[in-house]
Amino acid sequence: MTNKRFRQTVRWLHVTVGVMLIFFIYSPLSDVGWYAVTVQVLAIPLVSLSGIVLRQQPKLSVWRRRRQ
């Protein structure tokens, strides 16, 4: 996977999960039990992790090149 494709994939993951968080905050879906648990357990850590990956992408690409 090229660096460009990797960055695009992580960016779309970040945007998609971010939209899920926006729906949770601004809609009545926060009252649905399974959706609230999904957001708390999956969405918030995924957004955090993908944000860190996007921020540290230059360092990660160097690390990935060294591993190969």
Per-domain residue ranges of the chain: 3-67
Taking 80 as the threshold, does the pLDDT of residue 29 lie above it? no
**Whole-structure pTM value:** 0.74
Q: How far apart are CA 46 and CA 44, in angstroms?
A: 5
Give the up-direction half-sphere exposure of residue 6: CA atoms within 13 A in the CB hemisphere. Answer: 12
Assess whether pLDDT exceeds 90 at residue 12: yes
Mean pLDDT of the chain: 86
Close Cβ partners of 6 (under 8 Å, ≥ 6 residues apart) = 57, 61
Residue 16 half-sphere exposure toward CB, CA atoms < 13 A: 8
pLDDT of residue 30 exceeding 80, the answer is no
SS3 category, 63? helix
